[in-house]
Structure 1
Amino acid sequence: MKLSANEAAKRTGKSVPTITRAIKSGKISAEKSGSGGYLIDPAELFRVFPAVAKLNAETLPMLKSETPRLPPSETHPLQEKVASLEAALADAKAERDEWRYQAKRLAMALPAPTSETIVMPRQRMWARLFARAKKD
């Protein structure tokens, strides 16, 4: 009898995403069912994850989520830090945009190049060659 990912999670004390991640990474082999779920052989499952003898109070919260819930006293400083970093990022983006605008204005204000200001590298090379020929 093969197990669904939900039943496998209950029997091992892991969450369903943990079971499906193990299947996708190749740690556990499983068959795809017609409904889109997975059918897992119990021997294959217990080869990777040990079976839970009984569902007790310690394993029930683990079945819901693997991410621990932190009390508000611990998350508040983190939320303040995130807010300050977002504000700093917004300031940096605004400053970047100001510099970009200034660069565009300066580029438009430059005079158009004239033929006197453009010296072709070949002209300089020929001028040097002819100058050397005259000296020799």
Structure 2
Amino acid sequence: MAGLTLSQASRALGKSKSTLNRAIKTGRLSATRNEDGTFSINPAELYRAFPEPSRNTLPERPKEPDRTTVPDDLGSRISLLQQLLEREREAVADLKEDRDRWRQQATSLLANQEAAPAAPPLVKRHRWWPF
């Protein structure tokens, strides 16, 4: 099957050529470069990277009273983000424990330093040159 040019692909999707070009450069969309420097894009690859607009909309859950509708995909994202948030909270708690231990150690070192006798004053040495 013949590939689509960048212009044909952008018209078919309703996206700009620069969006498709950026997707090719980032690796989201694979395309082959022709001898004249233009891209040839396989339509199957095009619709893999950019689903058709009719399939692009997410199915919504049935409406429940006193709740906002959340697409199914967003529900899984929310649960993933909640798990990540819980991990971050655990990491913060560990860091706070470490901070408290270091603070206690620093306080005890300062207390020991204050209790230790002061070092004898340094004797000022005379320099050879008077200036």
TM range (shorter): 0.3 to 0.5
Higher helix share: 1
TM-score by length of structure 1 reads: 0.39
TM-score by length of structure 2 reads: 0.40
Which protein shows a greater Rg? 1
